[in-house]
Amino acid sequence: MDKCSLIDFLLLRPKSKDITLEVLQHMILQKRSNLIEIGNVFDHLNIVYKKHLNNHIMNTSPLPNDYMIVAESLQCKVVIEQLDVYMHVFVKLVDKLENTKDDKKFTVSILVEYIRSLTDNKITIEHFLYELLINCLVINKMYYQLHQMVQYHIVIDSKPLACLLLSLESLYSPAHQMALDMLHRLNTAHEEIVEVLLSKKQVIPSMRYMSKHNMLDHSTYRKLTEIAISTDNSKILHSTKEEFVQRKVTSNDELDTNTKG
């Protein structure tokens, strides 16, 4: 019996989740199947998973008819969700990679293939899968692949992932700019972008960004001037002062008083 038929059979049996996950573990951890067969198994699992989601969540995007015909023909008793695959297969796969220096490309390919299958089945991908993929890439110094996956949206933009990239800056310095670019693309993270810029004492770029998005007001005046003072750069302090004066957010006298204080 081929693996897809075996998986379909197991999904029809009640209380077969553990056995199904064991089969998946065996296929992947022991490398008993190639990537094409593993991808097909992921698709079979996720067709059923999508049907389960459609039955329980309102306003989800329905699958194409040919997918739903397959799903409905299987009166499945078991659903393998993202957390199941993550906990029982992927975490062990990454641990195995770290402990044995196993084929890192194979590990990344498996993670990407599962994400591909979820995407094809119109299933929203959980953050922890992206986090595992990014950490796996960074740990194995696969920085070019990380850039490619972010650039071509294999990894979908989000605030949590941008924060993860920021946390990886000490391991991979371009991660800071990648995170900033991701926040820009989201176009809903104005405050986060300002905080990232100010954390690097980039006062002028912060001020320009805040000006563009109408974020400069009296409440931001003290924070920006304090950071400008901390740079020990008179030009930055002067530019900050002039910006606020021109906008009539504060007066020269008030800013001079705060600067001296």
d(C-alpha 20, C-alpha 121), whole Å: 20
**Among 106, 116, 85, which Cα is nearest to 20's?**
85
Report pLDDT for 56.
66
Cβ–Cβ under 8 Å, residues 223 and 193: no
Report pLDDT for 73.
47
d(C-alpha 188, C-alpha 209), whole Å: 13
**Among 57, 39, 197, 214, which Cα is nearest to 124's?**
57
Report pLDDT for 209.
83
Q: 180-220, pLDDT tens digit by residue?
A: 999 989 988 888 888 888 888 888 888 888 888 888 777 78
d(C-alpha 224, C-alpha 3), whole Å: 61
| CB-based burial label for 59 (10 Å; 0-12, 13-18, 19+) | exposed
- Residue-wise DSSP of 216-228: -SHHHHHHHHHHH
Average pLDDT, the chain: 84
- Please compute the mean of the pLDDT values over residues 11-29 and round it to a whole number: 93
Cβ–Cβ under 8 Å, residues 25 and 92: yes
Phi, psi dihedral angles at 213 (to 5 degrees) = -105, 20
- Please compute the mean of the pLDDT values over residues 128-146 and round it to a whole number: 90
d(C-alpha 252, C-alpha 255), whole Å: 5
